[in-house]
Amino acid sequence: MASSSLSNLGQMVKDAAKDGNTGKTVNTAESTIQAHDGEPRIELKNDDRNDDSSIQAKVVMSTFDNGPRFWAVMTSLALTSFLASLENSVVVTSGPAIVADLEMGEEYVWVANAFFVCCAAVQPLLGQLCNIFGRRWVMICVTALFTLGSGICGGATSGSMLIAGRGVQGAGSGGVVMIAHIILADLVPLRQRGNYIAILMAVYGIGLTIGPLLGGAIVDSISWRWVFYINVPIGALAVVVLYLLLRLNHNKATTLGEKMKRIDWVGNSLLITGTIVMLYALTYAGGKYTWASWHTLVPLLVGVFVVLLFGVWEVYGLASEPVIPPRLFHHRTSLIVAVNTFLYWMLVYWGMYFLPLTFQTVFLFSAERTGVSLLPMSLVSIPGTALAAMALSRWGKFKLLHLVGEAIFTLGLGLFALQWEGSTTAEWATFQCVWALGAGMVMDTLLPAFQAPVPESDQAAATATWAFIRTVGGVWGVAVPATIFNNRVDQLAYTISDPHARQLVSAGGAYQHAYASFIESFPDPVSGEVRAVYRGALKLVFLASVCFGGVAFLLFTLEKELPLRKSLETEYGLEDTRTKASGSVKADIEKSPEQGGLQFHSSQ
């Protein structure tokens, strides 16, 4: 029995020491695999730092523990998720007032896009840093960075300063949400992960719910600056809570120099540069500059070229530890989920940023009332997310949830196009509920589906890559509808009889003036004409979104259902789990130069 167990253990260690793609032996200073349901946890440790041919393995019985220490970690993650979601949504209702006060004009798009561009650009790098330096300190640093950005935004004296602050905020926020999902992947088996993602998404949803309401109330009663200042004390509290409660394992054996060598410096530089340049072009395309203008084409083509160079660097193995490993996309389901993650989050922000314009320009609601009117959208998404999470955990099937959720989600987008001045409260509230229910069903199930074909050792890279795709989708979700909106306003502006009013809403000025008091400042019939222009532009914006939703639905039909793992393998579990052993077996594994493999020797 003992001989058989040791033989099995030897095979497990051999498998753990091999790269899934190449079959090559991986010389690791330290690696830990935690298993679920009482299965062994193997720790591989290199005792001789100068000779990587000897590795020591220890088997430790371990189970998924959702006790008090786990919930302490969940509390810290929930607080940071709330902080990030609040800032994502609070500018939805306060944006026009901020843009008008700082006289930003067409630069208004950077209030949102600076946030998303920086968020997207750093996420793959932060994912790699989590693998190298551990999750805890990276999480604390990005939370502090987000808090700093909030202070810069609140004290902004110019549009440029506000944009810079939003960029700092975005870099921090991108890390906060992404690392929270990475930590969950470390602590919870994939089959059960949806339940805990749902908790974080519920907290995230509460932040999204409060954000527009809070933003509108602050703008109407105090100053838009407090939209950002309010994050400073919350962020400071979050840093303290993370420091006290977020206690996780990571490999402390390697030196700083060894860790720095593991960073994919070239890959990260190419990806960050290409992302920023490409998204810069998208920000102005169709608005300030036409798509055919060199101002758009040059940075867009340069950005695409640099991203292609990044792809060559990663695919051809020029990086020893790629920031986005190509093996993440080897499965059909991974590719489909990646594309639909982009489309889904594009449409989420499409709705989040342009539905409030309907309330302020078509219904002529104040910023505060607009925030209240968005409550159905935010509240219904929470039970939708929870139901999807329970279904995923119970049956382990995600394809049906994707198909049903995407269909309902797309229907909701189409219903938004039907809104007009005479729409009743029951109508627009129902439209929001339909949209939010579908959005909630898809939101919680995309990441587990993307992680399903990927081994546990790649969970951090997979989560960071998924978060990067999600954030880039968010940028497109502001840039694309903004282009459609501005172009349609320009096409309809001729119907406005007042030349001054026509000039103010043309050439990208419509969003800056998208609030009720602007429209009501004109006498009849001019105010009605301006209102009609906004209604016509927003109708086209939402009709266009239905096309993208339809593409996503068709792609989901090609998705392959995959089993969700019930076991857990990680070296980044709760800090004291390594010491809880019920007996151990030590083994030396020596590389055989002649055989090019590993030899297993047991010892008691």
DSSP 13: H
The per-residue pLDDT for 269 is 92
Cβ–Cβ under 8 Å, residues 92 and 359:
no
pLDDT at 131 > cutoff 70:
yes
> Residue 112 is encoded by which pair of tokens?
């949102």
The per-residue pLDDT for 506 is 84
Choice between 95 and 179, residue whose per-residue pLDDT is larger: 179
CA distance linking residue 185 with residue 195, whole number of Å? 12
DSSP 593: T
pLDDT at 46 > cutoff 50:
no
The per-residue pLDDT for 162 is 92
SS3 17: coil
Give Cα 522 distance to the centre of its chain: 41
CA distance linking residue 94 with residue 227, whole number of Å? 8
Nearest to 89 by CA among 508, 321, 370: 370
Mean pLDDT for all residues in the chain: 79
Helices (H), 134-189: 135-154, 159-187
Give Cα 332 distance to the centre of its chain: 21
pLDDT at 31 > cutoff 50:
no
User: What one-letter code names the amino acid at 149?
Assistant: G
Cβ–Cβ under 8 Å, residues 445 and 179:
no
Residue 498 pLDDT grade (very low, low, confident, very high; cuts 50, 70, 90): confident
Cβ–Cβ under 8 Å, residues 516 and 388:
no
CA distance linking residue 449 with residue 453, whole number of Å? 8
Residue 47 pLDDT grade (very low, low, confident, very high; cuts 50, 70, 90): very low
pLDDT at 600 > cutoff 50:
no
When pLDDT is averaged across residues 398-407 and rounded to a whole number, the result is 94
Strand partners, 601: 588
DSSP 506: T
Can you give the C-alpha Rg of the chain in angstroms? Answer: 26
Sign, Cα dihedral of 523, 525, 526, 530: positive
The per-residue pLDDT for 49 is 36
> Residue 519 is encoded by which pair of tokens?
């429209």
CA distance linking residue 454 with residue 36, whole number of Å? 17
Sign, Cα dihedral of 471, 475, 480, 486: positive
457 contacts: CB under 8 Å, gap ≥ 6: 20, 569
Residue 165 pLDDT grade (very low, low, confident, very high; cuts 50, 70, 90): very high
Q: Residue 243's CB: how many other CB atoms inside 10 A?
A: 15
Q: Which CATH superfamily is domain 68-263+321-557 in?
A: MFS general substrate transporter like domains (1.20.1250.20)
Give Cα 246 distance to the centre of its chain: 21
pLDDT at 331 > cutoff 50:
yes
532 contacts: CB under 8 Å, gap ≥ 6: 492, 495
Phi, psi of 588 (to 5 degrees): -105, 135
> Residue 64 is encoded by which pair of tokens?
């998924």
CA distance linking residue 287 with residue 514, whole number of Å? 16
**Bond into 525 cis (ω within 30):** yes
The per-residue pLDDT for 106 is 67
116 contacts: CB under 8 Å, gap ≥ 6: 170, 279, 471, 472, 474, 475, 478
pLDDT at 6 > cutoff 60:
no
Strand partners, 248: 574
Interval 239-263: pLDDT, tens:
888 888 887 766 666 777 888 888 8
Interval 251-299: pLDDT, tens:
666 777 888 888 889 999 999 999 889 888 877 776 677 777 888 889 9
SS3 598: strand
Choice between 106 and 169, residue whose per-residue pLDDT is larger: 169
The per-residue pLDDT for 64 is 62
Choice between 332 and 48, residue whose per-residue pLDDT is larger: 332
CA distance linking residue 431 with residue 302, whole number of Å? 41
Nearest to 332 by CA among 21, 560, 564, 554: 560
The per-residue pLDDT for 582 is 39
The per-residue pLDDT for 151 is 94
Residue 74 pLDDT grade (very low, low, confident, very high; cuts 50, 70, 90): confident
Residue 183 pLDDT grade (very low, low, confident, very high; cuts 50, 70, 90): confident
The per-residue pLDDT for 344 is 96
Interval 418-466: pLDDT, tens:
998 888 999 999 999 999 999 989 988 898 899 888 887 788 889 889 9
CA distance linking residue 416 with residue 373, whole number of Å? 14
Of the candidate ranges 125-134, 138-147, 508-517, the one whose mean pLDDT is the lowest: 508-517
Choice between 304 and 246, residue whose per-residue pLDDT is larger: 304
Choice between 12 and 520, residue whose per-residue pLDDT is larger: 520
Cβ–Cβ under 8 Å, residues 328 and 461:
yes
DSSP 30: E
The per-residue pLDDT for 547 is 95
pLDDT at 370 > cutoff 70:
yes
Give Cα 56 distance to the centre of its chain: 38
Residue 408 pLDDT grade (very low, low, confident, very high; cuts 50, 70, 90): very high
